[in-house]
Amino acid sequence: MSDCLFCKIIAGDIPSVSVYEDEQIFVFKDINPVAEVHILAVPKKHIKSLDEQTKEDADLLGYMMGKLPELAQSQGLADGFRTIINTGPGGGQEVDHLHIHIMGGSKLPGFT
């Protein structure tokens, strides 16, 4: 999608600090981290949100979930990590390209 911020980041049209990339996903540092480690994993395919997924996306989304421990460990999160997926305005989603927040480290805030 041409006016999507994360599609532009994936394409390299907007700079980011990439930490991992393969054929299906792109992973980069959040520009406004709320924890010592805060990265975002996005599918290269533009999927607006979990609400917009189709049956054809099941393998891709499963692949992303399976990658999370490896991605967290690559950032030094050996003891575990937190994931958040905000969905739609009611879920606080600000960027309309599905993304998984991966967070951890000593500054991980409380979550209540």
Residue 3 binds which entry of ligand AMP, Zn ion, none, CB below 5-8 Å type-dependent? none
Nearest to 46 by CA among 17, 19, 71, 11: 11
Binding segment toward ligand AMP, per CB under 6 A, in 30-38, 47-55, 66-74, 104-112: 30-38
Binding segment toward ligand AMP, per CB under 6 A, in 19-27, 53-61, 93-101, 103-111: 93-101
* b/e code 4-21 from CB counts within 10 Å (16+ = b): bebbbbbeeeeebeebee
97 catalytic, yes or no?
A: no
Helix (H) or strand (E) holding 103: strand 100-104
Which of 20, 46, 61, 105 is in the footprint of Zn ion by CB under 5 A?
46
Tokens 């989304």 locate to 61
Nearer to ligand AMP, 75 or 93 (CB): 93
Which of 67, 97, 99, 101 is in the footprint of Zn ion by CB under 5 A?
97
Size of the site for Zn ion (CB under 5 A): 6
Nearest to 28 by CA among 41, 43, 45: 41
Residue 7 interacts with Zn ion (CB under 5 A): yes or no: yes
Residue 92 interacts with ligand AMP (CB under 6 A): yes or no: yes
Do residues 98 and 47 make contact, with C-beta atoms less than 8 angstroms apart? yes
Catalytic site positions: 99
